[in-house]
Structure 1
């Protein structure tokens, strides 16, 4: 519904004159008549009656007027809120793990820059373990990583899960049928950095299958893991969301084992009492929801 047409209707109802409304909105009476006609056609009802005595509302027009005024007030409040955000200054320090960088970091940064053009956005990319340490020491304001934190000055919120999978190059020797996880574990497995949560969970999964010493290769860069997999270096234990394009092109494939690695958790944690931090956390949630809607549950699942 066109807000300009609603605004025109509201002013006609208030001034009871097309001429005065045209003067108020710096346009012509013909333009005012055209807007009202378009609004009536859109709603499918007659809103105004014109006769020699002037302009009056129909019963339907009176009902629409109430809602139109509410919609215009809401639009005005929204604009004022956005204008207020754009006037804010300062700095926000955000730490992100590699998985976020390779999925929905770009739209988040774009929205932050659009909403807070005068705020300095300082980004730090690191492992989840290092990010938690930097947040606890006060070097970061918000972090996106894998673990809930419980500390007096820190809050955290479980956001989502990245489903994990066993991923190989389609043309590699590792693209074959595996009888079990124990069978798969005889091969070289590439996963996240040592002692990270996904590394520990993959290790625990394989040990539960009776694999005492799996050949785990720990790499702390998603780009490096992807390159190694594409070059046929081994079997990747990572979220398919990180290699969506390679999977779509058929360069990499997801092995159809019944037991996949445990999902990678996504948690936001932040320092309390820091200016803008609550707004940034909410913006993270909004951007993530849009990414999840577009990517689908095979790639990410909101909590």
Structure 2
């Protein structure tokens, strides 16, 4: 039994399809079957039940999967620790949510990697969280900075930071310094996140069924579009103030004093457990280190690092 074989079990447990597993691991379906059979023979158990229609993990397979996940993660962490500083090379494909991209995290990450790892090239793609995670699972991205909606057996998810979320409006829409409630908020059109996203679901819960049904709500899957609409006075939005610092300093936008306060948004850095490279872990450590630096520049309610 070796790490590659454990990674094959992890990948098959996620895909439940030999062909898709083979494509993700860049091997043949026969090689996938051979690896699974080798572990099954060595342990004397069945990891998967398979027939002509589908593949199902067995109870014994679930127990093995839990242990394999820990072993594979520890292995890649050890490899990253043993890699000489500055020796990392190649290309890392990094997916970043639009709500993170305008913060100082991404440019600082890229500058740090250029300085400390000159042989490492970074390609950045920004998109919505569901699309980024699909690209991560399909192998089109190596690392994603986004939102973890649920546990996923094939992904390593490390907490990055929590961003405070506050109602933001064009300056003058509400009297300066006035304390507002939900009734005041729904008196204005709301620029919401796209349907099905974490913060859209949270927004509906925050407003309550009756208020959400009565208010005028627009939907945007682009942070830039949302900011532009708020600046134009089309509506108000709940945003992380760290991504609209320029607009707040210029006085174009204002943070509203609304109670109750909207919940913070947790962000994670994620990559595939089956990755044979230690670079994703290296990128994660760089990102988390810079997140801690940035958190020290803001108050806890705007940026904080989870325990």
1:210-242 deviation per Cα after TM superposition (whole angstroms, max 9, x unaligned): 442432222122222222211111111111111
Q: Deviations over 1:94-128 (max 9, x none)?
A: 11101221111110111112222122212111111
| 2:264 counterpart residue number | 263
Taking the aligned partners of 2:276 and 2:112, their CA distance within structure 1 comes to 20
1:237-290 residue CA offsets vs partner (Å, 9 max, x unmatched) = 111111122222322111111112221111111112331111111111101111
Query: In structure 1, what is the Cα distance between the partners aligned to 2:217 and 2:285?
Result: 37
The answer on 1:216 being equivalent to 2:224 is: no
Matched, 1:144 2:145: yes
Q: Which runs of 5+ in 2 are unaligned?
A: 1-80
Structure 1 gap segments, 5+ residues each: 1-80
Q: Which residue of 2 aligns with 1:274?
A: 276
Query: How far apart are residue 173 of structure 1 and its match?
Result: 6.4
1:269 match: secondary structure: strand
Counterpart of 2:208 in 1: which secondary structure? helix
TM norm structure 2: 0.66
Equivalence for 2:45 = none
Query: 1:155: how far off?
Result: 0.8
CA pair 148-236 structure 1, distance change in 2 beyond 3 A:
closer
Q: Larger relative CO (CA 8 A, sep 6+): 1 or 2?
A: 2
SS at match of 1:98: coil
Q: Determine the C-alpha separation between the residues in 1 that align with 2:175 and 2:270.
A: 38
Tell me if 1:300 matches 2:303.
yes
Contact 1:148 1:158 in 2 (8 A): no
Task: Note closer, same or farther for the CA distance 1:174–1:195 as it changes in structure 2 (3 Å cut).
Answer: farther
Q: Secondary structure at the match of 1:155?
A: strand
Structure 1 residue 190: Cα displacement: 1.2
Identify the residue that residue 30 of structure 2 maps to in structure 1: none
Q: Which residue number corresponds to residue 97 of structure 2?
A: 97
Question: What's 1:226 paired with?
Answer: 227
Q: Which structure has the bigger radius of gyration?
A: 1
- Is the CA contact 1:148–1:267 (under 8 Å) kept in the aligned structure 2? no
Q: What CA distance in whole angstroms lies between the structure 2 residues aligned with 1:220 and 1:212?
A: 21
Cα shift readout 1:118-162 (whole Å, capped 9, x = no counterpart): 222121111111111111222211111111553333110222211
Q: For the Cα contact (< 8 Å) 2:180–2:257, is it kept in 1?
A: no
TM-score normalised according to structure 1 size: 0.67
Partner-residue secondary structure (3-state), 2:144: strand
Determine the C-alpha separation between the residues in 1 that align with 2:296 and 2:184.
Answer: 36
SS at the partner of 2:257? Answer: coil
Alignment partner of 1:181 is 2:162: no
Q: Paired residues, what number?
A: 223
Deviations 1:48-79 (A, max 9, x none): xxxxxxxxxxxxxxxxxxxxxxxxxxxxxxxx
Alignment of 1:48-59 (within 5 A): none
